[in-house]
Structure 1
Amino acid sequence: MTEVAEPTTTNDVFPLLRSCPFAPPPAYEKLREAGPVHRVKLQSGSEAWALTRLEDVRQMLTDPRFSSDRFNPGFPILTKQGRPVRRGGFTPSLINMDPPEHGAARREVVGEFTVKRMKALQPRIQQIVDEHIDAILAGPKPADLVSALALPVPSLVICELLGVPYADHDFFQARSSAMLNREIDQETRTKAVDELQEYLDRLVSEKEAEPADDLLGRQILKQREEHGKADHDSLVSLAFLLLIAGHETTANMISLGTVALLENPGQLAIIKNDPGKTLDAVEELLRYFTIAEFATSRVATEDVEIAGQLIREGEGVLGLSYSGNRDEAAFENPDELDIERGARHHVAFGFGPHQCLGQNLARMELQIVFDTLFRRIPGLKLAAPVEQLPFKHDSSVFGLYCLPVTW
């Protein structure tokens, strides 16, 4: 096997910041040019391997010798505070599971996110979007598109899907934001996790007493029928994951996508003239921003060779999905926003067994929002220069804290 390489001679410490909101850190291109695999330093003080090319990232994500267990001592941690502590009574969520447990747990719930079921939600999502745009048009200018549309739409959708009271959205959005903030202290993050887990624990108990026709209620009835009883802890863990992932990622893509389209009027004109192109625009925007780029981190459970480099058991690996999604070998002119590119082999939703469970829902929400927003407010424009917008450079999910717009 190939000898283990020396750590990359660079002062860069991961995660690297995006110096431009529309581009990956400049170091990514240099790393790709230098080679496919590099040894890099992490904020936590440890080291990991970094994969820079799309082909290798996809290979790793389908290789069962790489684990998603974030509590594994070798898993690459990207916060200054270091590794989280596994607390008693904690049930791993889908993103932390490996085979065979992961496959079984995913099969339990995957039927809730089929294309057919998502299409059944389409009229309600359209209604939610229209109601929020009605409120924007009736309100003062400028408006904050994050608080008026980007955040409430996916939050309301995931609440209705799961059976979580939307009236509690301020509570769970605040805790979600704290958990994703890489700069926040470990005590505050742990408190946010505990409070949200306690909230969902009570909610699942209420649903077990009286199951409703929502995702959690259906899962309770399904588990009772198939296994004799519902697995309370696994349902709390599932609700925790879906509630956070179901609103944070889509909310940030709505705001970022809006900025990108407003800053690229030629691209915006394509979907205004032909709404049939909007889904292509969604795919391209997902690739272009890759907002959850470190969700593709893993740890090797045995010695593995990738792109000629030996990665030893217990070593962490960053599958740099944003670098992969700007890989010149995989995408022509990758730094250009081209909604007619027709490329769906990106890894913005991950790849392999852990590919995003809710991707069909996210695509549909984004398509409906962009179609409706630019049709109903054709004169929409930014109310502040891009360089003055508050981008989420401190978050594990890139996005915007607010987006002032006018028309």
Structure 2
Amino acid sequence: MEHTITAMPTERQPGCPFDPPKELIEAREHGPISRIPFADGHQGWLITGFDLVRSVMADPRFSSRRELMRHHPWVDYGDIEVPPAPPGEFLLMDEPQHSRYRKPLVGKFTVRRMRLLTERVEQVTAECLYAMEKAGPSADLVTAFAKPIPAIVICELLGVPYEDRGAFQDNVDKFMGGETSDEELMAAYTAVQTYLAELVAAKRANPTDDVLSDLTDSDLTDEELKGVALILLAAGLDTTTNMLALGTFALLRNPEQLAALRADPTLADKAVEELMRYLSVAKTFFRTALEDVELGGQTIKAGTAVILSMNTANRDPERFADPHTLDLRREDGGHLGFGHGIHQCLGQQLARVEMRAAFPALLNRFPTLRLAVAAEEVALRPETADIYGVKSLPVTWDV
């Protein structure tokens, strides 16, 4: 029997900042696929089950092209024509355009190369924790820890001057945080585009030892390099920042799990994977059917919009035992936190290195770390944000 969810939820249950909105959990309980109306009245589909989400992400019959994404759960575009993605912004493209941009990058983010960065990541982490301790005994963990670690690492990797990272990250926050006006969003996006155009030109004229300079030897144009740099920098900053902050919040709210990680640093690898599953900060993806597709007992018509609910897929009871429990020793891994298919996160190994270093270092440096406010007072990003997380995380510790 076909199930319908009345609208895409815009908030989570009070006191449950880590769980998906209850409407999505209830939809999953009815089955892995539901009908859903979009803001403009379009009747689309919501996929909440692990197996179906995974299959759609690997199915070329479902498109990621921006110009086909005319329907949005919260935005009515009216008669506005949605343009194709700008050159280089390959997350919003299908093959073969997608591979043209992704292929030159694959060798830059291998497991081996990212592991070679471990020592530098550990150094950056130690420097941030030292500064946090010196300024303490209280801090906003977002600004003191979660933002600077990935910002410094990705900016060094891509060749963004250190002094520019603050302004760049502020603008990224504005167009990915889900809380700015259209005018502010466009101003921030334009500022980032202008900055990256100047950076690409500088790398072209005077290459240095970084990924962006390496890419100037490819056949990509300056405009394409600008788009590629935007994808890498925005993704490398926002996702890991929110995983570090929200992940720490989750550990503080699960003291037994926190104690286990502090006592056994070898749990770090499993902890990273479990936090990725449990939190699913990249919570929603969109696809458009290019042809009629039979899926989960339903026919998805060509041109129909599909929402992929990553946070319910990663909490699917048919895939994970006791899915709403954070368990750092979990054996049934294989989450979709980094996506799947051709668009699977290119920087996932870098994110793993950063989290693997940062979480244990934080917990060991501050053995009495705790929230400085009630958990209910922690400011959360809205569901409309591209990446879920906390706006700030006030913490304190004993001196």
CA RMSD of aligned residues (A): 1.9
Which among 14, 17, 24 is matched to residue 11 of structure 2? 17
Which among 274, 290, 296 is matched to residue 284 of structure 1? 274
Residue 319 in structure 1 maps to residue 308 in structure 2? yes
Residue 51 in structure 1 maps to residue 65 in structure 2? no
Which among 205, 229, 240 is matched to residue 201 of structure 2? 205
Secondary structure (helix, strand or coil) at the match of 2:34 reads strand
1: CA distance between counterparts of 2:11 and 2:329?
Answer: 28
Residue 350 in structure 1 maps to residue 339 in structure 2? yes
Residue 156 in structure 1 maps to residue 145 in structure 2? no
2: CA distance between counterparts of 1:332 and 1:277?
Answer: 19
Alpha-carbon contact 1:72-1:299 (below 8 Å) kept: yes
Secondary structure (helix, strand or coil) at the match of 2:327 reads coil
Extract unaligned runs of 5+ from structure 1: none
1: CA distance between counterparts of 2:84 and 2:19?
Answer: 41
Give the alignment of 1:168-187 within 5 angstroms.
168-187=164-183
Aligned to 1:259: 249
Extract unaligned runs of 5+ from structure 2: none
Residue 214 in structure 1 maps to residue 203 in structure 2? no
1:401 alignment partner AA = K
Q: 1:269 to 1:73 in 2, by over 3 A?
A: closer
Q: 1:375 to 1:278 in 2, by over 3 A?
A: same
2: CA distance between counterparts of 1:327 and 1:7?
Answer: 17
Q: 1:88 to 1:38 in 2, by over 3 A?
A: closer
Secondary structure (helix, strand or coil) at the match of 2:29 reads helix
Q: Shift of the alpha carbon at 1:44?
A: 5.1
Secondary structure (helix, strand or coil) at the match of 2:239 reads helix
Alpha-carbon contact 1:299-1:314 (below 8 Å) kept: yes
Q: Shift of the alpha carbon at 1:181?
A: 3.4
Aligned to 1:34: 30
Q: 1:370 to 1:214 in 2, by over 3 A?
A: same
Q: Shift of the alpha carbon at 1:169?
A: 2.2
Residue 91 in structure 1 maps to residue 77 in structure 2? no
Q: 1:298 to 1:284 in 2, by over 3 A?
A: same
Alpha-carbon contact 2:36-2:44 (below 8 Å) kept: yes
Which among 351, 356, 368 is matched to residue 357 of structure 2? 368
2: CA distance between counterparts of 1:44 and 1:125?
Answer: 45
2: CA distance between counterparts of 1:139 and 1:85?
Answer: 50
Alpha-carbon contact 2:114-2:349 (below 8 Å) kept: yes
Secondary structure (helix, strand or coil) at the match of 1:14 reads coil
Structure 1 range deviating more: 191-200 or 148-157: 191-200
Which among 90, 109, 112 is matched to residue 108 of structure 2? 112
Secondary structure (helix, strand or coil) at the match of 2:359 reads helix
1:389 alignment partner AA = V
Q: 1:340 to 1:40 in 2, by over 3 A?
A: same
Secondary structure (helix, strand or coil) at the match of 1:331 reads coil
2: CA distance between counterparts of 1:87 and 1:57?
Answer: 26
How much identity, in percent, do the aligned residues show? 40
1: CA distance between counterparts of 2:229 and 2:192?
Answer: 10
Q: 1:88 to 1:32 in 2, by over 3 A?
A: closer
Cα shift readout 1:165-185 (whole Å, capped 9, x = no counterpart): 121223222221221233433
Secondary structure (helix, strand or coil) at the match of 2:117 reads helix
Q: Shift of the alpha carbon at 1:45?
A: 4.6
Query: Number of residue pairs matched?
Result: 393
Q: TM-score, normalised by structure 1?
A: 0.92
1:267 alignment partner AA = Q
Cα shift readout 1:367-405 (whole Å, capped 9, x = no counterpart): 100111111111111111110000112522111111111
2: CA distance between counterparts of 1:92 and 1:299?
Answer: 20
2: CA distance between counterparts of 1:283 and 1:150?
Answer: 18
Q: Shift of the alpha carbon at 1:86?
A: 5.5
2: CA distance between counterparts of 1:305 and 1:255?
Answer: 39
Q: Shift of the alpha carbon at 1:89?
A: 9.6
